[in-house]
Amino acid sequence: QRQLRRDIGPEVCQYLSELSKKVIAEAAPPESEILVKRALLERLEAISKTIVPDAKLIAFGSLVTGFATANSDLDVIFTGGDRVDILNESSDDPSSNFRIPMLLESKLQEEGFGTTLLTKTRVPILKLVQKATEQSPYELQCDIGFSNHLALYNTQMLLTYSKCDPRVKEMMIFIKWWAKRRHINNPYRGTLSSYGYALIVLHYLINVVKPPVLPNLQTFPVPDSAPTNEIIFEGDSDDTFEIWFYKDIEKLPKSDNAMDIGELLKGFFEYYAHNFQWGREVVSIRTKGGLMTKQEKGWVAAVIKPGRTENSEVKNRYLFAVEDPFETEHNVSRTCNGPGVNRIKDEFKRAVWLIRVRDGGKTLFQNLCME
Ligand code: ATP
Ligand code: MG
């Protein structure tokens, strides 16, 4: 194991802990925002049922994991109806592609929502915005996906990790807040999704910090609950995915790691600033040790694949490599382009630099999460 640098005094961790408490208090959404989101979910489901009577909208992402920050979007999956109607790939008429997403889009527009239908993504995504009103002072953004059930399972795994130790949620909220404020949390603009940040935080808590804060739930050796082959089929391919992870967390021993959140954050920033080899390594939380090499995965050169719609393409980049814990051929950070990866690396270095300035934490407080 590579050693983390230890040349920073304990007072720095104290400042970081204080800062993270402030940030968490500021970043966590108020209860009223969560209620408004749940009400929106019910309304959207009722509207969906007017098009597909057995439609259901299932929430995933930060509303479920508890990693939401104020203004987090609402992620939902549309289920029900016939898949053929939704993706209508057999049709030769391109205008009939995505029949249900398009019907839902026009219905939502009639109801006053702002909408955009993304069809060049791996699965269609309907993005909608509900403007703030007097009754509901929050502008809400919602992404409705029409496939991708793996997201429900990875959401459950993040939630399970979060239940293992309260520091998981604190780390997640702090890192998301930092990444949002520093503009390195935008998968549409060349940087990393919140989900990607969640995975790199888990790698640190499972594999890097000693003693570990978390066990690896996907390799956890428990004699009387050996991995059952829990497998699902997903989407348009015949691909299957192993989705087993250990869920009986009440039986797990508490972590021997007693570090406070400041110490953990410092170690996290240092690891990705100085120890992680961005050009060579792949974060792989399902694997023992948590790392693979790009060579081992064959993740060496960018690959362009045809997308679902005519003239669309999907670019698989491997500049930064974070393996999805279930869909192991999927690089969660393929959204990161060259300038994006450089900005992310620079932000890790900047964070470490700020942590090292010895001025009673003043610079740190002012600058670490400065917009
Ligand atoms: P935020 O509060 O910023 O919206 P979030 O925790 O909801 O954060 P998102 O990045 O919105 O995180 O992702 C929500 C869910 O979508 C994830 O739990 C995951 O299931 C899925 N997801 C997002 N990005 C990817 C990706 N690149 N690859 C696979 N699944 C993803
Ligand atoms: Mg989200």
For ligand 1, atom 18, the nearest C-alpha belongs to 61
- Ligand number nearest CA of 202 is 1
How far apart CA 354 and CA 195 sit, in angstroms, is: 25
Distance between Cα 60 and ligand 2 center (Å) = 8
pLDDT of residue 12: 83
Q: What is the DSSP string of 199-241?
A: HHHHHIIIIISSS-SS--TTT---GGGPPP--EEE-TTSS-EE
For ligand 1, atom 31, the nearest C-alpha belongs to 195
How far apart CA 27 and CA 286 sit, in angstroms, is: 29
Distance between Cα 293 and ligand 2 center (Å) = 29
Contact 344, 331 (CB under 8 A): no
pLDDT of residue 97: 58
Q: Which of 195, 317, 322, 335 to mutate to test the pocket of ligand 1 (most atoms within 8 A of CB)?
A: 195
Q: Other CB atoms closer than 10 Å to residue 193's CB: what's the count?
A: 19
For ligand 1, atom 27, the nearest C-alpha belongs to 332
How far apart CA 20 and CA 266 sit, in angstroms, is: 11
pLDDT of residue 86: 57
The model's pTM: 0.90
Distance of CA 326 to the CA centre of its chain: 13
pLDDT of residue 309: 56
- Ligand number nearest CA of 191 is 1
What interface predicted TM-score (ipTM) does this complex get? 0.96
From the first residue on, what is the mean pLDDT of each consecutive set of 10 residues in the chain (371 residues)?
A: 53 89 90 91 96 94 93 91 57 61 95 91 86 85 89 96 97 96 95 97 98 94 61 68 91 94 96 98 97 96 70 78 95 95 97 87 86 85
Distance between Cα 142 and ligand 2 center (Å) = 8
Kindly list the protein residues whose Cβ atom lies closer than 6 A to any atom of ligand 1. 60-62, 65, 67-69, 72-73, 75, 151, 154-155, 176, 193-195, 324, 330, 332
Distance between Cα 73 and ligand 1 center (Å) = 10
Phi and psi of 235, rounded to 5°? 60, -140
114, β-bridge pairs: 129
Distance between Cα 121 and ligand 2 center (Å) = 16
What dihedral angle (degrees, nearest 10) is formed by the CA atoms of 117, 118, 124, 125? -70
Handedness of CA 203, 204, 207, 213 (dihedral sign): negative
How far apart CA 255 and CA 252 sit, in angstroms, is: 9
Residue whose structure tokens are 């999460």: 369
Distance between Cα 63 and ligand 2 center (Å) = 7
233, β-bridge pairs: 240
Nearest to 366 by CA among 28, 68, 23: 23
**Helix ranges (DSSP H) in the chain:** 10-27, 31-49, 62-65, 83-87, 99-110, 150-164, 166-181, 194-203, 261-270, 294-297, 338-356, 362-367
Nearest to 172 by CA among 23, 350, 9: 23
pLDDT of residue 113: 94
